[in-house]
Amino acid sequence: MISPRLARRIAQIHKWLGLVVAIQLVIWTATGLFFTAFSIVDIRGEKLVHPPAHGHVDMSRVKLSSTDALNTVVEDQPTEVILRPLAGRPVYEIRAAIGLYVISAETGEVMSPIAEDLAREIATTAWAGQGALQTMTLIQKAPREAGLPGAVWAADFAGEGHPTLYISATNGEVGPARTDLWRTYDFLWSLHIMDYSERENFHHPLIIAAAILALSTVLFGVALLVHRFTRGRVRATPQPN
């Protein structure tokens, strides 16, 4: 049995530890409740975007060979080329030492950076939501929520939660759909893992220290519970003569 003096000491430590980690414990509990209250599919906005189609290339529309396409950007030291569809058009996507390019397989035109009209067509084709496209905005440095590198087109649609679909301005890749629900989730996630800038790292000294303090608080609380539940029983036990 814990002595009364030790129990008082444990109670004091438990109290001060609780004061130190109380706010973070509330945050962990509240954010955890939020995470479980919504489907991750809804949070990610997956229902708002058609699944990527591993599309068929209409070879009858291909007028240029891959060699012709590579020659278009030969000065940029191309290293890889693939033929793929883009908004129904056959294009060559060429990865070079100093950039990524999209070349029309019909005309040889360099289509990157993606023009607004093409980005608008890509966005409306990929969109599965009910709201209509409202605005297209070119952002030279993609925001973190875009999930795409470089410049992007932000396609804002009408609908609940201010949905935005991101399109790469480099190669026309369709990025994620973001809504206010995702933005709320993202903010709460930063509080949950205590990574307030990048919101990705959950292995850092701050959260480790907070977890150790929280665990210590719980363990001291358990020790107090054991002491208080057993104290009366021990006293009531008759002593041998």
> Tell me: the pLDDT tens digits for 119-140?
999 999 999 999 999 999 999 9
Which parts of the chain register pLDDT below 50? 234
Q: Is 81 exposed, middle or buried (0-12, 13-18, 19+ CB in 10 A)?
A: middle
Same domain, 135 and 65: yes
Could you give the maximum distance between any two Cα atoms of the chain, in Å?
A: 107
Residue 241 maps to a domain: no
- Rounded to 10 degrees, what is the CA torsion of 185, 145, 42, 158? 120
pTM, 2 dp: 0.80
Residue 85 maps to a domain: yes
Same domain, 26 and 97: no
Overall number of domains in the chain:
2
Same domain, 91 and 199: no
Host domain of residue 155: 46-178
3-state helix, strand, coil in the chain (%, to 5): 50, 20, 30
Using alpha carbons, select from 141, 136, 174 the residue that is nearest to residue 153: 136
**pLDDT score at 158:** 96
Same domain, 108 and 26: no
Same domain, 211 and 153: no
Same domain, 85 and 27: no
Same domain, 30 and 51: no
The Cα 181–Cα 177 span in angstroms is 11
Q: What is the pLDDT of residues 52-93, one digit of tens each?
A: 766 688 899 999 999 999 998 888 889 999 999 998 899 999
**pLDDT score at 137:** 97
Q: Which residue, of 132, 154, 178, is where some domain finishes? A: 178
Same domain, 36 and 82: no
Same domain, 84 and 18: no
Same domain, 17 and 134: no
The Cα 191–Cα 186 span in angstroms is 9
Same domain, 132 and 84: yes
CB 126 within 8 A of CB 174: yes
Residue 11 maps to a domain: yes
Same domain, 57 and 38: no
Residue 35 maps to a domain: yes
